[in-house]
Chain A
Amino acid sequence: MATTSVMGGDVRRREDPALIKGRGVYVDDLQPTGLLHVAFSRAPVGRAKIKSVDTSAASSMPGVVAVFTHDDVAELGPLVAQVPIGKLRPLLAAGEVNHVGEAIAMVVAENRYQAQDAADAIDVDYDILPAVIDLKEAKSDATKVHDELDSNVIHTWTYHGYWAALGLEDQTPQVDAAMERDDAVIVSIEMTNQRLIPVAIEPRSVMVEYNSGYERFTVHSATQVPHALAGAIATMFGMSPSDVRAIAPEVGGGFGAKLNVYNDEILAAFAAKKLGRPVKWTETRREAAGATIHGRGWIGTATLVGTKDGQFLGYKLEAIADMGAYSQNFTVAIPLLGLWVASGQYKMPVSWTVDCVVTNTMTTDAYRGAGRPEAIYYLERIIDAFAREIGMDPIEVRRKNFWQKDEFPATMGCGFSLDSGDYEAAIDKLIEVSGYEDLIRRRDEARAEGRQVGIGIGSYVEVCGFGPAVLAEIGFSWSNYGLPASFNGSGLVRVNPDASVTVVIGTGPTGQGHETTWAQIISDRLGIPWENVRVRHGDTQEHPMGIGTFGSRSISVDGAATYNAAEEIKVKAAKIAAHLLEAAPEDIVFEDGAAHVAGSPERSIEWTAIAKSAYQAHTLPEGVESGLEAHTAFSPGNATWPFGTHLALVEVDADTGDVEILEYYAVDDCGNRVNPMIVDGQIHGGITQGIGQALFEGAVYDSSGNLLTSSLLDYPLPTAADLPSFQLSHTVTPTDVNPMGVKGIGEAGTIGSAHTIVNAVVDALSPLGVKHIDMPLRPKRVWAAIQEASN
């Protein structure tokens, strides 16, 4: 069944046997003795002053152990953000609420039903205020969300000014001058990149135990970032992070929503300490919709200027990004991730301005792609419109403007350098695998029959592998939770006395298969069988340093750290083997589970003997200490920049507006691939989340701030019946910023797919005169666009 090949091999997942038998343990599965349950009373209004909170009825209800409001927790202060711009959310509402779902009171009871009953019995009297929801209205400051802030615009990112220390040139005059040229073709569209709800299928959940004897917390949480969580709790309670053990057991999907530390995790810790019993809170789906972070939420005008023969002369984006009411983790910094890929695969001057505004809605933060899908959407949609305007094939217009293979590393106007790329190769591959010429013929034949069939092309570059130390200077670190100010990778590898290997990594899976992939890497490096490598993660007590899983960073940063740790172990193991074989350490080579002297395979010693010797003083060479383990940190000099091009063939039913994806092709380049099966799985899921945005999903607040999409009925996700099977291909352009040449693949599919679908639908409807439809392209909206264009 499960095979044993290593790097690049066809390996079934180590994680799966428990999960397919229902034996995986997620946080909500934990039921320690004496467990208490939490439920929150939450604001049903978008913006209001709180006149009174009456908890008396709730406090006397059956099973209720305690009810807490703001005054009870005020001394802890608010949970800080990593990028401290905007307003922080109080742990529990302090005299006002600023979005539906904001927590006002916390009930702790003997079971979850009693907790919810009591939370529902808390009586809050509000003085309701007008809510600020519309982004343009927010930017106008006609009504301010927070009296204490100067403006609803809490920050503005510009392409050249995002980091003053770089001293970058403002390219806006170049772009403006291009627009004045006589031969300029200018295409401009205002587009929405709508707000999304991440919807991990496992709701967030936290279970906290406090031992008042040892004065230690043990926290189980459905989180992507256990070390950050331990740091946050330690900071809030004035403790050492070493006295907070945070554990992320099985985590049922994250997608960025579990990359934040949340108030509820702090409040559960508070209650566990105060009450001296274990406390658990698991969010309901309604809470997941309204009180766990959202993503995207931009409106903006993209303008491309070029010549009629397809040469790009400049690109401009002027956008407003919705931050929600309060800043959480990286909230305000999310558009910055988009800024770095603003020019995509193309060489051209860029003018890019994004205003970050507060509104009476839930906070936005990192949702799969985080800033990059937004940036690439605007760019690739306007390129598509430009190609249509000049009557050029959308592949040809892209090809004319690519960074060329010999130009890498390519320094962009934003100051960062694309590490490696071969964009022509990827698009050539796409043409080949999709049978592009034949697709065009089939589309045109369908059109001749009166059917609305379209082809969409979408390219992308993503920036990932967040590890470079420079990122800390612009807020990307956990330093506000007391952790070191760097996103470096961290890997600990120990060869045990029986020659089994324990690998402890600072990043854990929410489905990505780390236990399998890391076992492959270490097995490959050490020549120890894959079955004998055990990978541990997600427990702050086992590993001194962990940044967490986000930004497609695990393999290229923590993977590289672990790779380097294995190399260090080999240096020491060579000394021990040389001593045992009476040879020189530099002559030792490792192969097939053993060390031997180069050129003399008969002079060989197995790992089992080396490992045993490493723990016995009398078998060690002089000057070599006992033990066989290494811990390394890894800080790459640059991020990594995966890329690819996707193609969708769609058909639109003009009578109903229904969109069907007939075929979907993707060519993705994430450098070297450790486990192709897992890489493909990441791309499948990523593409589907982009399709979800393109066709189905959208978080909607009405003008009073009511969240109209708080269940999975109102917030439709793609189902199996909505999708085709995907045709995946790839090119391999390794990076040199890490020793494995790997780039990361968790977000690429999402960054590449939404605009591909919209480009295809617009292509299908272009004969009817449709030029753009805002996502999600649900039937009603598509049908209305057809009607409008034909009138």
Chain B
Amino acid sequence: MTVNGQEVTADVEPRTLLVHFIRENLHLTGTHVGCETGYCGACTIHLDGKPVKSCTMLAVQADGAEIATIEGLADDGALHPVQEGFWERHGLQCGFCTPGMIMSAAALLAENDNPSEDEIRHGIEGNLCRCTGYHNIVRAVEYAGSKMRGEEPAAPDWEGAS
């Protein structure tokens, strides 16, 4: 398979989960395991451009696929607009759900760079966050959408914001 643009070849036990292969064989630990059952979305990666939950897939099922993880999202050091949005709009607290959330949001914006609040909320509802109440995640995705459209993002909504 190709991971973040690099060819990767390995022999693994057939039952090895894709997320464990990414984390433990490739040492890309930015992809997290939160529930092992596909509900929380912390393990979300892109597989052939689509967001998938890598805890409910075997590594061998990804044979030949093109995979992108959070570590590969920044373009030559420049943050992806969604990463920038999460930083600028306080879209994360503990950071554990964040890589999966960012991967889902990036996939959402790749399909539609001007989603409504409702479309954003439904677009990320497969990713659970226990810290932020999603309020600032929605603002972060709106920020990223504005950037991708070449528009000035709306000001943050907390007191004293610049």
Stretch at the interface among B25-33, B46-54, B58-66, B145-153: B25-33
Known contacts: A10-B161, A20-B87, A21-B83. The answer to whether A720 contacts B138 by CB under 8 A is yes
Cβ contacts A2-44/B at 8 Å (1 or 0 each): 1100001110110111111111111011010000000000000
* Contact of A677 (CB < 8 Å), options: B37, B79, B138, B158: B158
* Contact of A29 (CB < 8 Å), options: B16, B23, B117: B23
A18 to B93, CA, bound (A): 12
Which of B36, B130, B136 counts the most A-chain CB atoms under 10 A from its CB?
A: B130
A730 to B93, CA, bound (A): 21
Name the residue on A nearest B79 (C-beta).
A20
Cβ contacts A497-530/B at 8 Å (1 or 0 each): 0000000000001111100000000000000000
A22:B36 contact, CB within 8 angstroms? no
CB distance from B29 to the nearest CB of A (A): 4
A713 to B128, CA, bound (A): 12
B40:A22 contact, CB within 8 angstroms? no
A677:B94 contact, CB within 8 angstroms? no
A653 within 8 A of B: no
A676:B130 contact, CB within 8 angstroms? no
A332 within 8 A of B: no
* Contact of A723 (CB < 8 Å), options: B35, B70, B133: B133
Stretch at the interface among A158-166, A196-204, A560-568, A763-771: A196-204
CB distance from A113 to the nearest CB of B (A): 7
A739 within 8 A of B: no
B113 within 8 A of A: no
Known contacts: A1-B87, A20-B102, A684-B135. The answer to whether A202 contacts B24 by CB under 8 A is no
A29 to B31, CA, bound (A): 10
Known contacts: A285-B34, A720-B121. The answer to whether A22 contacts B132 by CB under 8 A is no
A676:B93 contact, CB within 8 angstroms? no
A721 within 8 A of B: yes
A285:B134 contact, CB within 8 angstroms? no
B94:A252 contact, CB within 8 angstroms? yes
B130:A12 contact, CB within 8 angstroms? no
B34:A203 contact, CB within 8 angstroms? yes
A722 to B126, CA, bound (A): 12
A22 to B32, CA, bound (A): 9
Contacts of A19 in B (CB 8 A): 92, 95, 98
Contacts of B138 in A (CB 8 A): 720, 725
* Contact of A253 (CB < 8 Å), options: B13, B15, B94, B134: B94
A679 to B160, CA, bound (A): 12
A717 within 8 A of B: yes
Contacts of A726 in B (CB 8 A): 133, 135
A688 within 8 A of B: yes
A712:B95 contact, CB within 8 angstroms? no
B32:A26 contact, CB within 8 angstroms? yes
Contacts of A202 in B (CB 8 A): 32, 34, 94, 96
B88:A1 contact, CB within 8 angstroms? yes
A720:B36 contact, CB within 8 angstroms? no
B129 within 8 A of A: yes
Contacts of A673 in B (CB 8 A): 159
Contacts of B16 in A (CB 8 A): 113
CB distance from A331 to the nearest CB of B (A): 22
CB distance from A116 to the nearest CB of B (A): 11
Query: Interface size on A (CB < 8 Å)?
Result: 71
B97 within 8 A of A: yes
Contacts of B74 in A (CB 8 A): 21
B15:A113 contact, CB within 8 angstroms? yes
A327 within 8 A of B: no
* Contact of B83 (CB < 8 Å), options: A2, A12, A20, A31: A20
Name the residue on A nearest B70 (C-beta).
A22
* Contact of A201 (CB < 8 Å), options: B40, B69, B120, B121: B40
Which of B87, B135, B162 counts the most A-chain CB atoms under 10 A from its CB?
A: B135
A788 to B16, CA, bound (A): 51
A779 within 8 A of B: no
CB distance from B138 to the nearest CB of A (A): 7
Name the residue on B nearest A205 (C-beta).
B33
Within 8 A of B (CB), among A142-199: 199
A22:B71 contact, CB within 8 angstroms? yes
A238 to B156, CA, bound (A): 53
A253:B86 contact, CB within 8 angstroms? no
Contacts of B84 in A (CB 8 A): 1
A591 within 8 A of B: no
Query: Interface size on B (CB < 8 Å)?
Result: 67
B18 within 8 A of A: no
A685 within 8 A of B: yes
B90:A685 contact, CB within 8 angstroms? no
Cβ contacts A680-708/B at 8 Å (1 or 0 each): 11001111110000000000000000000
CB distance from A178 to the nearest CB of B (A): 40
Name the residue on B nearest A19 (C-beta).
B95
Name the residue on A nearest B17 (C-beta).
A113
* Contact of A250 (CB < 8 Å), options: B13, B36, B70, B94: B94
A251 within 8 A of B: yes
Contacts of B121 in A (CB 8 A): 719-721, 723
Within 8 A of B (CB), among A226-269: 250-253, 255
Contacts of A16 in B (CB 8 A): 86-87, 92, 95
B128:A712 contact, CB within 8 angstroms? yes
A688:B133 contact, CB within 8 angstroms? yes
Known contacts: A31-B24, A717-B128. The answer to whether A10 contacts B160 by CB under 8 A is yes
A681:B13 contact, CB within 8 angstroms? no
A251:B29 contact, CB within 8 angstroms? no
A711 within 8 A of B: yes
Name the residue on A nearest B95 (C-beta).
A19
Which of B37, B71, B87, B102 counts the most A-chain CB atoms under 10 A from its CB?
A: B87
* Contact of B136 (CB < 8 Å), options: A17, A255, A681, A718: A681
CB distance from A117 to the nearest CB of B (A): 10
A711 to B87, CA, bound (A): 31
A107 within 8 A of B: no
Contacts of B20 in A (CB 8 A): 112
Contacts of A510 in B (CB 8 A): 94
Contacts of A255 in B (CB 8 A): 130
Contacts of B40 in A (CB 8 A): 201, 285, 712
Which of A28, A673, A677 counts the most B-chain CB atoms under 10 A from its CB?
A: A677
CB distance from A266 to the nearest CB of B (A): 24
Within 8 A of A (CB), among B82-129: 83-84, 86-88, 90, 92-99, 102, 117, 120-122, 124-129
Contacts of B133 in A (CB 8 A): 684-688, 718, 723, 726, 749
B131 within 8 A of A: yes
B94:A251 contact, CB within 8 angstroms? yes
Contacts of A282 in B (CB 8 A): 33
A18 to B69, CA, bound (A): 14
Known contacts: A1-B87, A676-B160. The answer to whether A29 contacts B29 by CB under 8 A is yes
Contacts of A285 in B (CB 8 A): 34-37, 40
CB distance from B49 to the nearest CB of A (A): 19
A532 within 8 A of B: no
Contacts of B67 in A (CB 8 A): none
Q: Could you list which residues of chain A lie within 8 angstroms of chain B, going by C-beta atoms?
A: 1-3, 8-10, 12-13, 15-26, 28-29, 31, 112-113, 199-203, 250-253, 255, 282, 284-285, 509-513, 673, 676-681, 684-689, 711-713, 717-723, 725-726, 728, 730, 749
6 more contacts with CB within 8 A, not counting A250-B96, A253-B131, A684-B134, are A113-B15, A200-B130, A201-B32, A285-B37, A719-B126, A720-B122
A-B contact pairs, 26 of them (CB 8 A): A1-B84, A1-B87, A3-B162, A10-B156, A12-B87, A20-B70, A20-B95, A21-B30, A22-B73, A23-B30, A24-B30, A25-B29, A28-B29, A112-B20, A202-B96, A253-B93, A677-B161, A684-B135, A685-B131, A688-B133, A713-B37, A718-B134, A719-B126, A720-B137, A721-B125, A749-B133
Q: Could you list which residues of chain B lie within 8 angstroms of chain A, going by C-beta atoms?
A: 13, 15-16, 20, 23-24, 27-37, 39-40, 42, 69-71, 73-74, 79, 83-84, 86-88, 90, 92-99, 102, 117, 120-122, 124-138, 156-162
Closest 4 CB pairs of A and B: A22-B30, A252-B96, A19-B95, A511-B94
